Amino acid sequence: MSGPQQPELTADGKPLLSFCSNDYLGLANDAGNIEALKQALPETGLGGAASHLVCGHHEAHHQLEERLAAFTRRSSALFFSTGYMANMGVISALVGRGDTVFSDKLNHASIVDGCILSRARMRRYAHGDVATLETMLANTDGHKVVVTDGVFSMDGDVAPLRELARVCREQGALLVVDDAHGLGVLGPQGRGSVLEAGLSEEEVPVLIGTLGKAVGTSGAFVAGPEWLTEYLVQKARTYIYTTAMPPALAVATCASLDRIESDDAPREHLNQLIADFRSGAGRLGYELMPSKTPIQPIMIGDNHTALALSRALEAQGLLVTAIRPPTVPVGQARLRVTLSAAHTTDQLKQLLAALSKARHLVEETPEEALQ
C-alpha cells in the first residue's frame, strides 16, 4: 500500500476500492486526529525511548489511560503497545501452572498464544457454547479464567456476553473479554460490546481493547479495577519489557476517542451500510454469516473458489481479501468484507454490482473457477 489508509487506496501502484480494512469509522486518516498528532510532536518528541517502568511512561500515556478508563466506564486502564501484546501479557499474568483457562474455539490467535504461554491447562469450548462451558467449569477445581472475543474477527458475530458473565459468576471464574472489534462500533457512544450487553466492571472484570481498528491509531489497553492494572504493571511481561509507544500517538488517540464519543453520525451511516449490504448480497444469493457488525463474511467453502472470487473483484477494481485455513476452519474459506463509515452509498453499490457480475464463480466447481 502507498498513501493513507482509506477506502480508495493504492496497492502496488494500482488504484483499488478497499473493503477489507478494520478502519471501521474511517478515523485512520482523519484530519482532526492527524492535526492532534502534529501539534503533540513538538511537546512530546517522537520515540518512547524506554520501557514504561524505566522512563518511557509519558504524561500523554497516563492521560490516555485515564481517558480509556472513562470511555469504557471502568476504574482504571493500562496502555500496551499492541493488541497481540495485551492479550499475551494479560492472560499469561492471570493464569499459570496449576490453573485452568477456558477459551472459545474461534478466539483470536493472540488469545490462544496467551493461553499457551501461561502454561496453564487450556480447555477450548465450542464456539459460543455456554452450556458446555458451564459443565466444564463445574467439573474443574482451582483458579479458573474464561477468555473470549467480544466480536469474533472472522465471523463478525458477538459473543453471548450476558450468559458468559452469569456462568462465570456462578462457577467462580474470572471473565476476560477482548473487544478489539467492538470498541468504537457497538454499544452506547461506541463504548463496546460489554456495555452494549449492559455488563458492569464487576461482571466483566477484565476488558481488553485495541486502538488500531475503529479508533484509527495504534496500541491497546486493558481496563478494569485498580487491583488489576496494579498487578499487571508488576506481572505482564509484554508491558514491562518493551519500549513505550510514541507519546504523540497517545495524544492523537485521546482526540479520536473524543470524536467517537461525541458523534453518532458515523456509526449510524455504518449501520445503514451494513443493512444495505446484507440485503443486497442476500438478494444475489450469497451465503452470509449472522453478523450485525462491520465484519460481513461471504461464506464460500472451497479455497480455490474464494481466491477466484477475490481475483474477479480485484479485476473490477475492488480489494476484498480471501480468508482461508488455518485462519478459519477447513472447508470454511470466505471473503471477509469489512465496511467503514468512510464508505459511501455509491461505493457500496459498486461492490454489490461487482459481486453480481462474479456470482457465477460460486456456482462453478473449484476446477472451473480456476480457469
Q: Which residues are annotated as a binding site?
A: 83-84, 108, 153, 181, 210, 327
pLDDT in tens, 156-205: 999 999 999 999 999 999 999 999 999 999 999 999 999 999 999 999 99
Q: Please check the confidence at residue 21 and state whether its pLDDT lies above 70.
A: yes
What is the pLDDT confidence band of residue 366, given thresholds at 50, 70 and 90? low
The answer, yes or no, to whether residue 363 has pLDDT greater than 90, is no
Asked if the peptide bond before residue 326 counts as cis, ω within 30 degrees of 0, the response is: yes
Q: pTM here?
A: 0.94
* Mean pLDDT of all residues in 327-344: 96
Question: Which residues fall in the annotated binding site for pyridoxal 5'-phosphate?
Answer: 83-84, 153, 181, 210
State yes or no: pLDDT of 367 exceeds 60: no
Catalytic residue flag (residue 360)? no
CA–CA distance, 311 with 316 (Å, rounded to integer): 9
Give me the chain's average pLDDT, please: 96
144-149 and 100-104 as β-strands: parallel, antiparallel, unpaired? parallel
C-alpha torsion 199→200→201→202, nearest 10: -100
pLDDT(365) > 60: no
Listed in sequence order, the residues at least 6 apart from 18 whose beta carbon sits closer than 8 Å to its beta carbon are 6, 7, 8, 9, 318, 319
pLDDT on residue 371 = 52
pLDDT confidence of residue 341: 98
pLDDT value at residue 220: 98
Instruction: Report residue 147 CA to chain centroid gap.
Output: 14
All 3 cell numbers of residue 231? 498487578
Q: Is residue 144 a contact partner of residue 137, using CB atoms and an 8 Å limit?
A: yes
* Domain ranges across the chain: 8-29+264-370, 45-262
Q: Please state whether 319 falls in left (phi above 0), alpha (psi between -120 and 50) or beta.
A: beta
Q: Does the structure show a pLDDT above 90 at 364? A: no
Q: Which CATH superfamily is domain 8-29+264-370 in?
A: Aspartate Aminotransferase, domain 1 (3.90.1150.10)
Which residue of the set 57, 61, 144, 213 is catalytic?
A: 213
Please report the pLDDT score of residue 223 as a whole number: 98
Active-site residue among 21, 92, 118, 153? 153
CATH topology of domain 45-262: Aspartate Aminotransferase; domain 2 (3.40.640)
The answer to whether 52 is a known catalytic residue is no
Instruction: Give the residue numbers of the binding site for substrate.
Output: 108, 327
Indicate the SS3 state at residue 269. helix
The percent of residues above 90 in pLDDT, for the chain, comes to 97
Q: What is the pLDDT of residue 154?
A: 96
Distance of CA 188 to the CA centre of its chain: 17
Averaged pLDDT, 68-91? 97
Catalytic residue among 52, 58, 61, 181: 181
Clarify whether 343 is annotated catalytic: no
In residues, how long is the chain? 371
List the Cα angle 10/220/72 in 5-degree steps.
115
Mean pLDDT, rounded, for 29-57: 96
* pLDDT number for residue 316: 97
- Backbone φ, ψ for residue 154 (5° rounding): -105, -15
How far apart (Å, rounded) are the C-alpha atoms in residues 229 and 221?
10
What's the rounded Cα separation, in Å, for the pair 130 and 184? 26
Query: How far out from the chain centre does Cα 26 lie?
Result: 15
